[in-house]
Chains A and B, each alone.
Chain A
Amino acid sequence: MGTVKPRKRYLLFHVEAEKQLHEKNVKEAVFSGFQRLFGEVEAGRLGIRWVGFKPEERWGILLCSQEAVVKVRAALALLTSLEGGKARFSTVRVSGTLKSLREFLRERKP
């Protein structure tokens, strides 16, 4: 019997912030947020991977296991500051494929 591959989910999030954003700082804030909320061991088990972030449009994409989606959403919701200013993270869409998220973003563009 083969093992069942865990299902993956891509999370599209948007950041509303007072200050200008840089990908490196956003990534660091997100990962330290996970670590603060769940601890190193549990945060490691969530299987989170950084896919990318567009500072101009303030969209970012994370990859995690399907079981971890709720925890990742919660951890993002508890982030309140970035680059020394106020910030708000909101998960906009969760999808099984990167392609559908990209299509969603293309449709949202004016």
Chain B
Amino acid sequence: MGGFVDLQVAFPESLEKAESLAFHLRKLGFKAVALTVQNGGKPENLEEVKEVFSRHRVEAALRVNLSPETSGRLLKDLRRLRGLFEIIGVICCNKQVARQAAKDHRVDLLLFPPGKLRLFDRAEVELASGSEAALELPLSSLLDVSGRQRLTYFWEAARASRLALKRNIPVVLTSGAKDLYGLRAPRDLAAVGEAVYGLPSQAALASVSKVPWRILERNREKLSQDFVEVGIRLVRRNGDC
């Protein structure tokens, strides 16, 4: 599969909102989206919402954002939720959680709220380079702050993405949209990555296409019944042989 992916859009509250969200995502050029819930369990109307998105030819995946206060809580949440969600993002609010999230193979995306991006330092990068976690820079984090905080975010995000790319940690750009006005076209997200965070043009485009697809496909494979271990897949079942 190919095309553009937005790995963080809030799960729609109703089917009408899902309809309009799917329409706008398709219009903007996205082929897949990760609908995000915060800390919770699976939404009840998930199948209906996925059906709405597939009518608009947008693949919908389910994502959870965890914001634990301790690393112990993070481990508990990961054990409980990894098998239920296609994407898991961890909002790192303190160093303990950031370090644990960076080295855990079950974490897909590391997020840092504005003011906490300094936690993505060399030690964090070292840990993340050994796991499969990617650095996520949601546009909403940038849009939610203003004045001096925004300037600091510009600087911190540019520093973080430079550090990540140096150690081959993938960078993912998402909209983090809570409604349809928060959505952005994929090439516009890439342009923000290039012009504001200083990503090279190829890396900026990959951060809204190849990189998120890879994460989505990897996790879908892991969640499939045929998956045994990394590199080992069940080809035939008893009786098929």
Contacts and interface: CB of A to CB of B under 8 A. Distances in A.
B188 interface: yes
B181 A80 contact: yes
B180 A91 contact: no
Given A73-B188, A74-B188, A87 B142 contact: no
B180 A77 contact: no
Given A70-B195, A71-B195, A91-B188, A77 B139 contact: yes
Contacts of B84: none
Interface residues on B, range: 20 to 34
A77 B192 contact: yes
Contact of A18 (B181, B191, B192): B181
A80 B185 contact: no
DSSP majority for the A interface? mixed
Given A74-B196, A80-B143, A87 B191 contact: no
DSSP majority for the B interface? helix
Nearest to A76: B188
Interface residues on A, range: 10 to 19
B121 to A, nearest CB: 26
Given A16-B24, A90-B28, A77 B191 contact: yes
Nearest to B144: A80
Interface in B110-153: 139, 142-143
Given A77-B191, A78-B192, 9 more contacts: A16-B181, A71-B191, A73-B195, A77-B185, A78-B143, A80-B181, A88-B184, A90-B185, A91-B191
Interface of A: 16, 18, 37, 70-71, 73-78, 80, 86-88, 90-92
